[in-house]
Amino acid sequence: MNPVAIVKAIRCFFSLEIKEWDVFEGVPVIRFPYIVSSRFLPFQTHSFTYTLGVTRQLSNLDKCFDFQLVHAHTSYTDGSAGAKVAAKYGVPLVITEHTGPFKTLTRTPYLRRQTEAAINAADCLIAVSRALLADINDQVAMKHYDRSRVLPNVVDTEVFVAEPRARDARIRALWVGHFVPVKRVDVLLRALAMAVQTEPRLCLRLVGSGELETDLRQIVLTLGLENNVEFSGLAGRRALVKHYRDCDFLVISSESETFGVVAIEAMSCGRPVLTSNCGGPMDVVTHPSLGLVVDKSAEAMAKGMLNMASRREEFDPRLIRKVAVLRYSSDAVVKMLTAVYADMLKERIE
């Protein structure tokens, strides 16, 4: 690429005043241009131009919108930009961190510095699980750990709704996600192979796609699980609802999870969850009436599947959904978030 062309593109960006207004689910949104880094530009270009774009837009927006607080999602790059805006306008900064794995934001010295600076500039850091907060505290030097909170993600309980299904002879486990190493679907398949020796009615539906799909299909053949495993491909939200309703329980086999949204989607549909002790889902499955947490080994997962299969008639879909609504509905999470905002504004006044 011509270096002159790169310089011209950057100069053009600095002269841009383009913005586009949009409305997303009733919320006004400003979309503005910024330069995403490439092999021809340094990585830092992304953060620099994004922050510049944010501050540009707010220099005009503050004339008609008297905002009292800045809330950024993820420490980098939104938190970095939010820290500058909050400092400029003298308002509190709240950062919600849900990047997983968190080491994505600390994998280079530059990223670690930027992430740590944003976190330490925040009046309140929200992590979506206790496991994520522990990871953050392990990887960056948090100056204000006492200001951190744990608030969960939200599930649309108006979309993910429980409905009874007709039972049949099969015991249906469901897995939802991407076929990538951290999800450990290969371990889950080995666990299923063990479990069907005791309970041959067990079957597993895999909803998703990814780089390991070919390998996983081969594992199914090698283990002789052709009649027990179904690959269902990707699914949108509406299709996912049907998958959740069709299963007896959801299974999560991951090495680590920041939160595990699929767990609360399943629970909102009245289905219990079997999960490995992988972090976030352990905050969700907090009682035997909601499911089971097991170790990450194939043996433990196999025993867990047999446990869930034997108890499938004992789980109460209405109770499971009630817990999901009370903890993870938009009303519940907004109430928690509003309380955080009120606390931050009160502290500034005092």
Residues 322 and 336 both lie in one domain: no
Q: Phi and psi at residue 198, in whole multiples of 5°?
A: -95, -40
Q: Phi and psi at residue 245, in whole multiples of 5°?
A: -65, -30
Domain's final residue, options 64, 90, 116: 64
Q: What b-and-e string marks burial along 252-269, b requiring 16 or more CB atoms within 10 Å of the CB?
A: bbbebbbbbbbbbbbbbb
| Range(s) of the domain holding residue 85 | 67-154+330-350
Residues 142 and 261 both lie in one domain: no
Residues 324 and 337 both lie in one domain: no
Please indicate, yes or no, if residue 249 is contained in any of the structural domains: yes
Please indicate, yes or no, if residue 162 is contained in any of the structural domains: no
Residues 182 and 302 both lie in one domain: yes
pLDDT tens readout for residues 278-332: 999 999 999 999 999 999 999 999 999 999 999 999 999 999 999 999 999 999 9
What pLDDT, on a 0 to 100 scale, did the predictor assign at position 6? Answer: 47
For the stretch 81-87, contacts whose Cβ atoms lie closer than 8 Å and that sit 24 or more positions apart, written own/partner, are: 81/47, 81/50, 81/51, 81/54, 81/55, 82/54, 82/118, 83/117, 83/118, 83/121, 83/122, 84/51, 84/54, 84/55, 85/54, 85/55, 85/58, 86/121, 86/123, 87/121
Q: What is the CA angle 5-9-14, rounded to 5?
A: 150
DSSP 3-state assignment of 332? helix
What pLDDT, on a 0 to 100 scale, did the predictor assign at position 143? Answer: 93
What pLDDT, on a 0 to 100 scale, did the predictor assign at position 18? Answer: 58
The CATH code of the domain that includes 286 is: 3.40.50.2000
Please indicate, yes or no, if residue 213 is contained in any of the structural domains: yes
Q: Phi and psi at residue 45, in whole multiples of 5°?
A: -55, -40
Residues 14 and 47 both lie in one domain: yes
Domain's final residue, options 18, 35, 64: 64
13 close to 52: Cβ distance less than 8 angstroms: no
Q: What is the CA angle 314-316-318, rounded to 5?
A: 175
Distance of CA 179 to the CA centre of its chain: 16
What pLDDT, on a 0 to 100 scale, did the predictor assign at position 203? Answer: 98
Task: Please list, in sequence order, all residues whose beta carbon lies within 8 angstroms of the beta carbon of residue 180, skipping any fewer than 6 positions away.
Answer: 210, 211, 212
pLDDT tens readout for residues 260-269: 999 999 999 9
In SS3 terms, 15-72 reads as HCCCCEEEEECCEEEEECCCCCCCCCCCCHHHHHHHHHHHHHHHHHHCCCCCCCCEEE
What pLDDT, on a 0 to 100 scale, did the predictor assign at position 1? Answer: 45
226 close to 333: Cβ distance less than 8 angstroms: no
Domain count across the chain: 3
Rounded Cα distance between 334 and 350, Å, is 24
What pLDDT, on a 0 to 100 scale, did the predictor assign at position 66? Answer: 83
Rounded Cα distance between 264 and 160, Å, is 9
Residues 136 and 53 both lie in one domain: no
Rounded Cα distance between 136 and 141, Å, is 9
173 close to 332: Cβ distance less than 8 angstroms: no
Residues 14 and 83 both lie in one domain: no
Residues 89 and 184 both lie in one domain: no
Q: pTM of this prediction?
A: 0.89
What pLDDT, on a 0 to 100 scale, did the predictor assign at position 317? Answer: 97
What pLDDT, on a 0 to 100 scale, did the predictor assign at position 45? Answer: 73
Please indicate, yes or no, if residue 161 is contained in any of the structural domains: no
Please indicate, yes or no, if residue 338 is contained in any of the structural domains: yes
Residues 144 and 215 both lie in one domain: no
Looking up tokens 């509003």 gives 338
Residues 185 and 289 both lie in one domain: yes
- Indicate the DSSP class of residue 294: E
Domain's final residue, options 48, 64, 80: 64
Residues 46 and 88 both lie in one domain: no
Please indicate, yes or no, if residue 163 is contained in any of the structural domains: no
Please indicate, yes or no, if residue 300 is contained in any of the structural domains: yes
Positions of the chain with pLDDT under 70: 1-19, 37-43, 62, 350
Please indicate, yes or no, if residue 166 is contained in any of the structural domains: no
Residues 141 and 10 both lie in one domain: no
